[in-house]
Structure 1
Amino acid sequence: MKRCFLTRTLEHVSAEMSLHVLAYNLKRLMSMLGIAGTMKAIKSARA
């Protein structure tokens, strides 16, 4: 049986899934805005 997640407990699987979703969304954002536009958006959101 193949496991889909590297971690075992529900708390850790939840954190791992959150990282997967974050990475997916960042890749989408970079494809839409480009790397420079993404960095600019991140810097303006932090201020």
Structure 2
Amino acid sequence: MPLPPQVRKELGLLKQVNTSTANINRYLSNKLAHNKRETSFNTC
């Protein structure tokens, strides 16, 4: 299954950041928190 354009864009951005585990975890946590907030707004 091909990756959606948004995912490919985010993976490209991820390559540009410092690839330490702490930075990757922080990036993913922020993305998950942002997506969770969007979902909660959409379901209200």
Structure 1: distance between partners of 2:27 and 2:33 = 10
Unaligned runs of 5+ in 2: 1-9
Unaligned runs of 5+ in 1: 34-47
Q: From 24, 34, 38, give the equivalent of 1:13.
A: 24
- Structure 1's consecutive aligned runs of 4 or more residues displaced over 6 angstroms after TM superposition are none
Show the counterpart of 1:23: 34
Give the Å deviation of 1:10.
0.8
> Aligned pair count?
31
Larger Rg, first or second structure (1 or 2): 1
Q: TM-score, normalised by structure 1?
A: 0.57
Within the alignment, does 1:32 sit opposite 2:43 as a pair? Answer: yes
Identity of aligned residues (%): 3
Cα RMSD, aligned residues only:
1.7
